[in-house]
Amino acid sequence: MSADAVTAAVPTAGRATPASLLAGPPSVITAGIDLLADALRAQAVTVTTVDFRPPVDDPAGTAAALATVLADPRREAANATAVGRMLAVRAHLVDVLPASEALGMRPGEFYHAGPPITWDRASGPLRGALIGAMLFEGLASTADEAEAKLAAGEGISFSPCHEHHTVGPMAGLVSPSMWMYKLQDSATGAVSYCSLNEGLGKVLRYGAYSDEVIERLRWMSAVLGPALQKAVRLMVAAGEPMDITALVGQMVQMGDEGHNRNRAGSAMFLRDISPWLIRAELPAKDTADVFAFIGGNEHFFLNLVMPCGKLMGDAAANVPGSTVVTALCRNGTDFGIRVSGTGDQWFTGPAGIPVGLFLAGFTQDDANPDIGDSAITETVGIGGMSMATAPAIVRFVGGAVPDALAVTRRMYEITLAENPAFAIPILEFRGAPTGIDVTRVLRTGVLPQINTGMAGKVAGTGQVGAGLVNPPMECFTAAIAALADRVPQSSEPVTIS
C-alpha cells in the first residue's frame, strides 16, 4: 500500500478532505512498557513516552473507592479551602514555657511522636526515650526501674504529640518538666508547641538515656528554657515577636530544606534572638553557655520549623470532602497519616527503614524503622519534598544532586499547590510543592519523599545515621476507603465554608 493510500477524513469548510497520515515524519506517543518505544527508536523514529501507571488497586476495592472520592462534588472546593488555610498561616514565636504549664501535663504523663502505640509494641528508641524521661522526671532512679514501671503502666500514660497540638522530633518525648516553644498563627490565634532541640548524637530523642543525656536535659530546663523565655517575652512585649514563617522562607532560599538541613535557619535564629538575650540580663556564664549551645547546634531551628508546620497542617484539618494530608508521622513501629476530610482519624502502616549514610561504626543493620513527627515538614511541602533547594543535603542523607532536583519535580505530581512563601531558587523560585493529595498519590503511585535521621534500634544507642524513606502505601489506601465512606449519597453539591 502506498503512503498516499493511507488517509483520514479531515473536516474542512462543509466537506471532508482526505489527508495522508504518512505525508510527514510520524509522531508517536507510547505508554506502558518500553517494547514498542525501543523498536521504533531502533528505526530512527522519534518517540515521546508518557510515564503512565494505572491507579493503585491493592487491596482490591481501592480503585473503586478512588473513583467514588474523585466523583465527590465537594472535593474541589474542599481542597481549595484546606490548601488555602494551610498557605495562609503566619506563625510567630510567642512564648517558651514548661510543658506542665503550656500543656497541663502531670507527673507520669508523656507525649510521643507518631500515631498511638502501646509499650509492648514500642520500638527501641521510643522505649529508650521513655526510660530517659522517667529518669529525668525523677520517677525512677535506674533504667531497670524505669523500664519495669513503664511495662506495668501504673500511674503512667503516653499519647501522641499530635493529639495535643504538639510535635516532637524522632521519639518526640515530651514530659512535664521539659520546656516548649509556643507558636501562634497571627490571624486565627491557633497555637502549636514543640520541645527544645538537644543537638545530634547521643540525645533523648534518638533513644539515648546515659548520664550525659539526662544532665543536658536538666541544664536545658534550668538555664536554656528560662533564658529563651525571658528573651522571647521581651520581644513580644516590644511588639516584635519572631516571625517563624518568614525565617523558614528565608532558609529555604539559603540552602536549607527545613528537616535535615537547618544551618541557615539556626544562624538566623541566633542572630535575631541575640539582642534580646543580652537585654534579659542573665548571669554572664549562662549567657555565654546559651550562645555556645545554640551556635554549636545546626539543627536548633528544626524545633521551630516543626511547630510552624503543625500550625499549617492543623489549619487545613476538618474540611469535609478534602483529600489533603494534614499530618505525616512515625513512632518507630508504625507510620501514620491524617487527612483533612477524616479529621483526627489515623491511617497507619509499617514504618520503613531509611536508606542512607551511617555514622562511623554503624550499618543498615543497626537502624530502627523510621521515627518522629519531623515529617510534618514534608506534610507542608519542605523537607524531602523540597530537596532541590538544598542540594548539599545529599552529603548527609545519600544520593546525588540531580536526585534532589528530580525528587522535588516529582513531588509536584502529588500536591495541589505551590507555596510562594517557600520559594525554591534553583527551580526559578517556584513555590514549594504543598498540599499532598491522597487521590494523586493513588493515581500516580508516587509517595511523598522524606529525609530523616536514623535512630539505633537498640534502646540507648542514639543516632546512627541519616537517609531517605517513604510512607507505606497502606496509609493512603486506608485513607481513600474512609474518605469514600464519607461521600454523601446525594449528588447535590455541598457548599464548603
Q: What whole-number distance in Å separates Cα of residue 448 and Cα of residue 441?
A: 8
| 368: pLDDT strictly greater than 70 | yes
What is the rounded average pLDDT of the residues 290-309? Answer: 97
- How much is the mean pLDDT over the chain? 92
pLDDT interval class at 494 (50, 70, 90): very low
- Burial (CB < 10 A; 0-12, 13-18, 19+), residue 283, is exposed
DSSP string, 466-493: EEEE---HHHHHHHHHHHHHTS-SS-S-
| pLDDT band with cut points at 50, 70 and 90 for residue 184 | very high
What mean pLDDT is predicted for residues 196-206?
Answer: 93
Percent of the chain whose pLDDT exceeds 90 = 81
pLDDT band at 11; cut points 50, 70, 90:
very low
CB atoms < 10 A from the CB of 358, how many? 18
Residue 411 reports pLDDT greater than 90: yes
The pLDDT assigned to 18 comes to 56
Cβ contact 419:455 at 8 Å = no
Phi (first) and psi of residue 231, to 5 degrees: -65, -45
In this prediction, residues 186-208 reach a mean pLDDT of: 95
For residue 220, give the DSSP letter.
I
Confidence of residue 29 (pLDDT cuts 50, 70, 90): confident
**Position 44 pLDDT exceeds 50:** yes
Residue 172 has pLDDT above 80, yes or no: yes
For every residue of 233-300, DSSP letters joined together read: HHHHHTT--EEHHHHHHHHHTTT--SSS--HHHHHHHHHHHHHHHHHTT--HHHHHHHHHHHHT-TTT
How, if at all, do strands 109-112 and 28-31 pair?
unpaired
**Confidence grade of residue 445 (pLDDT, cut at 50, 70, 90):** very high
12 pLDDT exceeds 80? no
- Pairwise CA distance, residues 292 & 301, whole Å: 15
Q: Is the pLDDT of residue 1 over 50?
A: no
φ, ψ dihedrals at 400, nearest 5°: -130, 165
Q: Please give the model's pTM, rounded to 2 decimal places.
A: 0.89
Q: What is the pLDDT of residues 106-140, one digit of tens each?
A: 999 999 999 999 999 999 999 999 999 999 999 99
Per-residue pLDDT of 50-108, as tens digits, reads 766 778 888 999 999 999 999 999 999 999 999 999 999 999 999 999 999 999 999 99
Taking alpha carbons only, the member of 242, 293, 290 closest to residue 269 is 242
pLDDT score, position 48? 84
Q: How far is CA 292 from CA 126, 194, 262, in A?
A: 29, 21, 17
What Cα–Cα distance (Å) separates residue 297 from each residue in 265, 303, 312? 11, 12, 25
Which pLDDT value is given to residue 67? 96
Check pLDDT > 80 for residue 242.
yes
What is the mean predicted confidence (pLDDT) over 451-464? 90
Residue 315 has pLDDT above 90, yes or no: yes
pLDDT cut 70: percent of the chain above it? 93
Whether 22 contacts 6, CB under 8 Å: yes
